[in-house]
Homo-oligomer: A and B are copies of this chain.
Amino acid sequence: MVTINRQITLAARPVGEPKESDFKLVESPIPVPGQDEFLVQVIYLSVDPYMRGRMNDRPSYAPPVQIGEVMGGSGVGRIIKSNSRRFRVGEIVSGYFGWEEYALSDGSGVQKINPELAPLSTWLGVLGMTGMTAYFGLLEICHPRAGETLVVSSSGGAVGAIVGQIAKIEGCRVIGIAGSDEKIEWLTGELGFDAAINYKTCPDLNAKLAELCPRGIDIYFDNVGGITTDAVLPLINRRARISLCGQISQYNAIEPEIGPRLFGLLIEKQARMEGFLVFQFAHKMRSAQNRMAEWLKTGKLKYRETITKGIENAPKAFIGMLRGENIGKQLVQLADEKPQSTADHGRDGASAA
């Protein structure tokens, strides 16, 4: 019988790229749910670029993680003990559980999941924050129209790969930018992108984009920023829309990076650039999930996952994701999808009754 909860805490604020030593694996007793609380055994943990920002001691849209505090993060798991009337043992839920094997919750921000609808992991990917970020960041910020040309950076990553596919569904010409030939092959093959560029081997990204976008760029969905954006922006069309989702190229910067001043291009092209956070579309989430689930079912939307096993490997998975080593959604699997043993499950179920 497992009684130990393994967690990953922030050991030190990273300087530049995070190192494994910036994290610490700690052990503590599995917590006991209080009144109206329940205990979740986390099955999948999501590691995402935004987490890098929370490791800095600087207020942003969310407060920073404190040294010694468990790293925050979304997960999907199974309720194994419950003193809540709304949440019952055996139910599958998603929520902001943190980097730990067992999480206590009072239900805030927790969504029940029907495991028959779609694979559990997709509730952190296509049907989770990742998919919602792609969906709203493209449709609500950029309003794509059939025939328009879209460029998406970090398109081999979790959000970018979905953005490109939704843009294809909307009838756009889609050009991806990614960091490996394997990703390029996946994007232009299985995912149906019109073209994709490996920025690591492309000698002149701006020239290549100009060649692949003969009618200019109407929409730029940006996950990356930096020199990628420098290459894209001079090619935008009149009334272009730029969705700012992430600036991953800047997240490890110790000093603010400098680059060419680009705002003049936005005037010349009467273009709009908008930053967004997925939470602002929370009220539309359910209908978006239904639409995405339908596309998933009919094969219009495909996804790929990179799954790392074991909480002890979460830091490595996170660091690799920041480097672009993953294809599609990077997840950490902490437990089997099926309940572990009849004995354990019976005990947990009984103790919560």
List A residues 254-299 near B (Cβ within 8 Å). 256-261, 263-277, 280
B270 near A273 with CB under 8 A, answer no
Partner of A267, one of B226, B229, B264, B276: B276
Closest B-chain residue to A258, C-beta based?
B258
Partner of A263, one of B229, B258, B280: B229
Cα distance A236–B259 in the bound complex, in angstroms: 21
Cα distance A61–B266 in the bound complex, in angstroms: 11
A334 interfacial by beta-carbon distance below 8 Å: no
Chain A contact residues: helix, strand, loop or mixed: mixed
Note all chain B residues with C-beta closer than 8 A to A256: 260-261
Partner of A270, one of B222, B264, B272, B277: B277
Residue from A222, A261, A275 whose CB has the most chain B CB atoms within 10 Å = A261
Chain A 236-258 per-residue mask, 1 if CB under 8 angstroms from chain B, else 0: 00100000111100100000111
Given contacts A244-B266, A246-B267, A247-B267, contact A261 B257 (CB under 8 A): yes
Note all chain B residues with C-beta closer than 8 A to A247: 261, 263-264, 267
Given contacts A269-B275, A270-B275, A276-B270, contact A250 B261 (CB under 8 A): yes
Closest B-chain residue to A253, C-beta based?
B261
Cα distance A250–B265 in the bound complex, in angstroms: 12
A3 interfacial by beta-carbon distance below 8 Å: no
A225 interfacial by beta-carbon distance below 8 Å: yes
A201 interfacial by beta-carbon distance below 8 Å: no
A341 interfacial by beta-carbon distance below 8 Å: no
A60 interfacial by beta-carbon distance below 8 Å: yes
Q: How many identical chains are in the complex?
A: 2
Q: A264 to nearest B CB, angstroms? A: 4
Q: A322 to nearest B CB, angstroms? A: 15
Closest B-chain residue to A50, C-beta based?
B267
Cα distance A317–B91 in the bound complex, in angstroms: 75
Note all chain B residues with C-beta closer than 8 A to A266: 244, 273-275
Q: A7 to nearest B CB, angstroms? A: 28
B280 near A275 with CB under 8 A, answer no
Cα distance A266–B274 in the bound complex, in angstroms: 7
B275 near A61 with CB under 8 A, answer no
14 more contacts with CB within 8 A, not counting A61-B238, A222-B263, A273-B273, are A225-B263, A225-B264, A226-B261, A244-B267, A258-B258, A258-B260, A259-B259, A266-B275, A268-B275, A270-B274, A270-B275, A271-B275, A272-B274, A273-B274
Q: Give the interface of A toward B (CB within 8 A).
A: 60-61, 222, 225-226, 229, 238, 244-247, 250, 256-261, 263-277, 280
Query: Could you name 7 residue pairs across A and B whose Cβ atoms are closer than 8 Å?
Result: A60-B268, A61-B268, A246-B267, A256-B261, A265-B275, A266-B275, A267-B275
Closest 9 CB pairs of A and B: A266-B275, A267-B275, A272-B274, A247-B264, A256-B260, A273-B273, A244-B267, A258-B258, A257-B261
